[in-house]
Structure 1
Amino acid sequence: MKVTFGALVTAAGVCGLLSFAFLATSLGTDYWYIIEINHANMSDFKNMSSHSGLWSINEGGKMHAYSIDPFTVNYSRLSDSERRMLNMHGAVVVMLPLSLVLLLFGGICGLVSSLARSPVLLTSTASYFFISSLLTLCGASLYIIYSYQALAETERLVGQQSLANIHTSFGWSLHLAWLSFSLEITIGALLLTAAQMAKLQHRVPSTA
């Protein structure tokens, strides 16, 4: 079955819409990090299980905004490890929303280059999506590093034994961010293929 130019750009468009929807949903939900308490062994903490997002945490069914703003906090009162974690969190909440904005502009560029059937524009837009995907990758990866360091800092402060009945995991909000990243890579590959096909189609009349 021969793949057509129209099929490639249509597939790229669908992937773009899905990528944008996945990342927007990821940023707007609070299942990035999940903390579960073993109620059988810790009956006094039955309401302490929580799940958190980039800007808020849901603890015991109640939503709370993060009490520390990484952009306004007084860093002179914090330890070196606390400063590092705040810097990482601040970078995450800038990178991922910026990646969402870049996805929107990338969709517009992709539509224009597809309608123009320009190999140069299609290649440029594909490169744009590859660069945008790096921002999503860095943001999601940095969040994982931040979460592990926060857990390590908590263990240092309260002791590993105190956390023996606590299970932590990454939730579906983070998984949606990874899906968005994968789709951005797919979009770039599809547009590169479409650019090569458009280039061949332009050459055919000139050689006839």
Structure 2
Amino acid sequence: MRYGLVVLSAGFSGLLSFCCLAVSIGTDYWYIIDVNKPNYTDSEDLSSYSGLWRINEGSDKSSVISSFTANMSALSEVERHLLTLHKAVVIILPFGLVMLVFGWICGLVSSLAYSPKLLTVTAFYILICSLFTLTGVSLYIEYSNKAMEEFRRIVAQEELAYVRVSFGWSFAMAWVSFTLELAAGFLLLLAAKITQMKGRYDCGVAVTL
């Protein structure tokens, strides 16, 4: 396998993973609540979709999720736990996004340097970035499940029959980013292996000559 093709694929995967994660963090389709009550003409006003920063209800109502400014003492234990989970998500995912920038730069430098050690270190760095993305997404799943449990506790059982919840395309983009981060990391490891093998081959040829 050609070294150039491998490092180009790794660079493209890393860049695409950054774009996917940035779009995911900045959009509001992580979680969708669709209400479809029969004989109710304004069901859309009861539906909502939310992201990491905002909740959009109905057609024109939007509110900011105030995890860091909320008065924790006035909240119940469940609400405090939900806000703690949300805080963790909105810290971990943007931090992972910043880490990806440095990872892409390190990948570019190590690939130009043709250094197996630098390529290996960068590969593991990118894989660590993927762990941040995985942790953030996993915490969001836990946050959503806890919020749904609280919603089911408050809302009457017969009303829940008209409610459908699902993860949106913003959430899916975060998973795509995680997959691409893994691909970039393993491709850099492959590039490091290629440089090692070529170095041994060149040494062998030099000794023979």
Shared fold per TM-score greater than 0.5: yes
- Note the alpha carbon deviations across 1:75-97, whole angstroms, 9 max, x for none: 11111111110000000001111
- Residue 16 (structure 1) aligns with: 14
- Note the alpha carbon deviations across 1:85-127, whole angstroms, 9 max, x for none: 0000000001111111111110000000000010000000000
- Residue 75 (structure 2) aligns with: 78
* Identity rate, percent: 52
Tell me whether 1:163 sits opposite 2:160 in the alignment.
yes
Tell me whether 1:178 sits opposite 2:140 in the alignment.
no
Which sections of structure 2, spanning at least 5 residues, go unmatched?
Answer: none
- Residue 129 (structure 2) aligns with: 132
User: Does the CA contact (< 8 Å) of 2:21 and 2:97 recur in 1?
Assistant: yes
Q: CA deviation at 1:44?
A: 5.0
User: Does the CA contact (< 8 Å) of 1:89 and 1:146 recur in 2?
Assistant: yes
Which sections of structure 1, spanning at least 5 residues, go unmatched?
Answer: none
Q: Paired residue for 2:94, among 94, 97, 100?
A: 97
Q: CA deviation at 1:181?
A: 0.1
Residue identity matched to 2:80: R
Distance 2:162 2:110 in 1: 55
Distance 2:156 2:27 in 1: 30
Q: CA deviation at 1:156?
A: 0.9
Distance 2:40 2:136 in 1: 34
- Matched residue count: 205
Please, what TM-score do these two structures have when normalized by structure 2?
A: 0.93
Please, what TM-score do these two structures have when normalized by structure 1?
A: 0.94
